[in-house]
């Protein structure tokens, strides 16, 4: 927008309508640049015009029920004696259907690079003491507290209110309060760095469908251990990532620069093809967030310390502006499909019964809805009813596509459930298979990869050992080769989709690819119905 000085009533209404539309497209967020012509020419406004324009923008925002925050101002060199400025303004509103923006960020990095500590500092709002106090609230098991190593997947939330201020546990809030007072939530998925827990880390990246990944590198050790592997995983799964160099208070400027150079070198390699962008000021952070969402090739790099708090604000500014990857149109298209919910975690909660956690990949799920869950070991789907839904620890009536939540299933028998199942609407008639084909690339293998080889396959939330039954057109595969391979699951059939991304590993063997063909298992429904009795119908 060039300028918004005292618009006429008609023009004002038009601007408000435009703002409504923009907020709807951006799922509750929009960035206005004032002082820029429509063709992108940086004209700038004088002090007075800028003040009037911001006042108009505030009026517009009040009309649609949004808040505005000035992100940054800068002066432009334009042929005039008066200093002229451009301002960028973030307009944010809790959307009409009271769905806050929810971004999921997976946290990767080598063991001891400071992942959990950084999350502790961001979500608790107090700095670390250099001895790991900040991360104690994140651990889920006693052995994690004793060894200081994360071995499970834990979730931490960080909220931003509509004015762009951080909402976290610092004011002794509960999780419910954070959700109520935030218009944007960032869920951090804290993954394990240790090599021993690699399967948990892969599971976290494939099944929780993160929007972004944050790779934490420690400034004093540089790129070591599993850092490269995690970088490779993020790229194989096409998760856009940004890099945080932590512990800069421990070492000299030269060491930090060396780590930055090392990272830049790796990112510019032909395999990565990324453009590193080092963030040193608020200005850079704003640019980084906008560019990062538009082009996946840009990788912002932050240098910060969880102990001294240096540059932590830049990361908060970046996370505050970071827009969601899908626009509202794509989400609506997903919502119109049939319900499909991936089961990632299973709990038993006293007085509630069985509870499953996971992500709704398509459709809409309401309280009281009847769904079928499966496949069981013998390929059946069982009926169940969703009793209640919780999202980010607060009750929620309706779940929309792409959102993570926990569903209470009441008295349903927990032993019938396992990770990797799906809950779908009964009319979907889901296809299940034991044998499937995938086009794969072998990333690394010590010897040759041939028929009869056993690997652990990860597809979304499915994780199971499979045997290589056939490699089309070849006898064996070597590192870096491509082929279509037929796999057979060892234990039980799984629900897969054509085109799903696939990762497999076995010791040092690793590969990626996508599912190309399924051999669906079909059963005669009528005979099963008679033998099982009604209500146990399998597909």
Backbone angles phi, psi at 56, to 5 degrees: -60, -45
- 424 backbone dihedrals φ, ψ, rounded to 5°: -130, 165
Q: Which positions ≥6 away from 176 have C-beta within 8 Å? A: 393, 394
Q: What is the pLDDT of residue 536?
A: 43
Query: What is residue 390's three-state secondary structure?
Result: strand
Would you state the pLDDT for residue 485?
94
Q: Of 377, 376, 384, 429, which Cα lies nearest the Cα of 539?
A: 429
Contact at 8 Å (CB) between 390 and 396? yes
**Cα–chain center distance at 224:** 24
532 within a domain of the structure (yes/no): no
Q: What is the mean pLDDT of residues 328-332?
A: 77
Q: How many CB atoms lie within 10 A of CB 463?
A: 19
- The candidate with the shortest Cα–Cα distance to 140, out of 151, 130, 129, 132, is 151
Is residue 268 situated within a structural domain? Answer: yes
Q: Helix axis angle, 198-207 relative to 227-236, nearest 10°? A: 30
Q: Are residues 311 and 338 in the same domain?
A: no
Q: What is the mean pLDDT of residues 193-208?
A: 83
Same domain, 384 and 470: no
User: 317 and 461 in one domain?
Assistant: no
Specify the CATH number for the domain of residue 384.
2.40.30.10
The 10s digit of each residue's pLDDT in 94-130 is 666 556 778 899 999 998 888 889 998 998 888 888 7
Scan for tokens 């539309």, then name that residue: 21
Distance of CA 348 to the CA centre of its chain: 26
What percent of the chain has pLDDT above 70? 93
Closest by Cα among 237, 158, 225 to 197 = 225
Pair (257, 362) in one structural domain: no
Domain of residue 419 covers 329-424
61 and 143 housed in the same domain: no
Is residue 219 a contact partner of residue 256, using CB atoms and an 8 Å limit?
Answer: yes
CATH number, domain of 214, equals: 3.40.50.300
Structure confidence at residue 106 (pLDDT): 93
Confidence of residue 73 (pLDDT cuts 50, 70, 90): confident
Residue 155 shares a structural domain with residue 273: yes
**Nearest by Cα to 248 from 218, 215, 278:** 218
Domain closes at, from 392, 407, 424: 424
Check whether residue 269 and residue 289 sit in a common domain. Answer: yes
Share of the chain above pLDDT 90, in %: 33
Q: Residues 291, 328, 370, CA angle at the centre, nearest 5°?
A: 135
| Beta-strand pair 184-190/101-109 | parallel
Give the mean model confidence (pLDDT) for residues 229-244. Answer: 89
What is the domain count for the chain?
4
12 close to 57: Cβ distance less than 8 angstroms: no
> Of 272, 305, 325, which closes a domain?
325
**Packed helices 312-321 and 115-124: angle between N→C axes, nearest 10 degrees:** 70
Same domain, 49 and 66: yes
| Residues 221, 178 contacting (CB under 8 angstroms) | no
CATH code assigned at 49: 3.30.110
Are the beta carbons of 310 and 249 closer than 8 angstroms?
A: yes
For residues 296 and 419, state if they share a domain: no
State residue 246's pLDDT score: 93
Distance CA 307, CA 251 (A): 13
Banded pLDDT at 528 (limits 50, 70, 90): very low
Beta carbons of 493 and 375 less than 8 angstroms apart: yes
Q: What is d(CA 85, CA 76) in angstroms, rounded to the nearest whole number?
A: 6
Tell whether 1 is covered by a domain.
Answer: no
Query: Does pLDDT of 533 surpass 70?
Result: no
- Is residue 367 domain-resident? yes
320 plus 336 within the same structural domain: no
pLDDT tens digit sequence for 14-26: 999 998 888 888 8
The model's pLDDT over 354-399, given as tens digits with 9 standing for 90+, comes to: 999 999 989 999 999 999 998 988 888 999 999 999 887 778 888 8
- 134 shares a domain with 227: yes
- The pLDDT assigned to 256 comes to 93
- What is residue 531's predicted lDDT score, i.e. its pLDDT? 38
Question: Are the CB atoms for 467 and 516 separated by under 8 Å?
Answer: no
- Residue 533 domain-assigned (yes or no): no
Residue 139 to residue 128: CA distance in whole angstroms: 15
The pLDDT-based confidence of 172 (bands split at 50, 70, 90) is low
Arithmetic mean of pLDDT over the chain: 85
pLDDT value, residue 522: 67
Q: Tell me what the mean pLDDT of segment 264-281 comes to.
A: 90
Who contacts 111 (Cβ-Cβ below 8 Å, separation ≥6)? 149, 192, 193, 194, 195, 225, 226
Out of 295, 325, 355, a domain closes at: 325
Q: At how many degrees (to 10) do helices 9-25 and 328-335 cross?
A: 60
What is the pLDDT at residue 443? Answer: 81
Q: How many CA atoms lie within 13 A of 244 on its CB side?
A: 32
Q: Give the sign of the dihedral formed by CA 44, CA 49, CA 52, CA 56.
A: negative
**What pLDDT, on a 0 to 100 scale, did the predictor assign at position 99?**
65
Strand residues in 273-324 grouped as ranges (E): 275-279, 298-303
Q: Tell me how far the alpha carbon of residue 246 is from its chain's centroid.
A: 21
- pLDDT tens sequence across 36-50: 888 888 888 888 888
Residue 536 lies in a domain: no
Q: Is residue 525 part of a domain?
A: no
Supply φ then ψ for residue 255, to 5 degrees: -65, -40
Lowest-confidence segment of 44-53, 133-142, 260-269, 340-349 by average pLDDT: 133-142
**Do residue 248 and residue 157 come from a single domain?**
yes
How far is residue 37's CA from residue 23's CA, in Å, rounded to a whole number?
A: 21
CA 380 to chain centre: 31
């Amino acid at each position: 927008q060039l300028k918004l000085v005292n618009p006429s009533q008609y023009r004002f209404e038009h601007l408000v309508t435009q703002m409504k539309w923009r907020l709807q497209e951006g799922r509750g967020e929009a960035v206005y640049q004032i002082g820029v012509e429509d063709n992108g020419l940086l004209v700038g406004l004088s002090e007075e015009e800028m003040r009037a324009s911001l006042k108009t923008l505030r009026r517009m925002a009040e009309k649609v029920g949004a808040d505005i925050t000035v992100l940054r101002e800068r002066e432009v060199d334009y042929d005039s004696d008066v200093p002229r400025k451009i301002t960028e303004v973030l307009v944010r509103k809790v959307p009409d259907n009271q769905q806050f923006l929810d971004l999921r960020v997976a946290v990767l990095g080598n063991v001891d690079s400071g992942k959990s500590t950084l999350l502790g500092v961001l979500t608790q709002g107090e700095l670390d003491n250099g001895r790991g106090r900040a991360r104690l609230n994140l651990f889920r098991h006693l052995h994690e507290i004793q060894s200081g190593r994360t071995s499970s997947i834990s979730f931490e939330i960080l909220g931003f209110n509509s004015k762009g201020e951080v909402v976290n546990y610092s004011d002794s809030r509960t999780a419910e309060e954070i959700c109520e007072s935030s218009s944007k939530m960032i869920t951090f998925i804290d993954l394990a760095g240790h090599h021993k827990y690699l399967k948990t880390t892969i599971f976290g990246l494939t099944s929780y469908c993160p929007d972004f990944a944050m790779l934490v590198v420690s400034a004093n050790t540089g790129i070591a251990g599993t850092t490269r592997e995690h970088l490779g995983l993020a790229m194989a799964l096409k998760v856009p990532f940004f890099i945080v160099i932590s512990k800069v208070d421990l070492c000299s400027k030269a060491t930090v620069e060396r780590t930055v150079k090392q990272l830049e070198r790796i990112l510019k390699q032909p395999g990565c093809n990324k453009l590193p962008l080092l963030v040193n000021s608020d200005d850079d952070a704003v640019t980084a967030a906008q560019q990062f969402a538009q082009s996946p090739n840009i990788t912002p790099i932050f240098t910060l310390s969880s102990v001294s708090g240096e540059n932590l604000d830049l990361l908060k500014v970046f996370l505050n502006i970071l827009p969601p990857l899908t626009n509202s149109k794509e989400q609506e298209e997903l919502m119109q499909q049939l319900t499909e919910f991936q089961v990632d975690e299973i709990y038993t909660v006293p007085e509630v019964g069985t509870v499953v956690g996971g992500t709704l990949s398509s459709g809409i799920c309401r309280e009281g809805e009847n769904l079928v869950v499966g496949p069981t070991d013998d390929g059946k789907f069982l009926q169940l009813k969703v009793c209640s839904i919780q999202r980010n620890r607060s009750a929620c009536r309706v779940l929309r596509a792409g959102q993570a939540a926990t569903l209470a299933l009441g008295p349903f028998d927990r032993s019938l459930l396992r990770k990797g199942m799906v809950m779908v609407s009964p009319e979907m008639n889901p296809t299940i298979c034991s044998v499937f084909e995938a086009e794969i690339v072998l990333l690394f293998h010590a010897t040759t990869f041939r028929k009869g080889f056993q690997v652990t396959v990860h597809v979304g939330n499915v994780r199971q050992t499979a045997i290589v039954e056939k490699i089309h057109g070849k006898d064996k595969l070597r590192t870096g080769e491509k082929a279509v391979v037929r796999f057979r699951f060892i234990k039980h059939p799984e629900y897969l989709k054509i085109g799903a991304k696939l990762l497999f590993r076995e010791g040092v063997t690793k590969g990626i690819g996508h599912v190309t063909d399924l051999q669906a298992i079909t059963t005669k429904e009528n005979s099963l119905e008679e033998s099982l009795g009604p209500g146990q119908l399998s597909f």
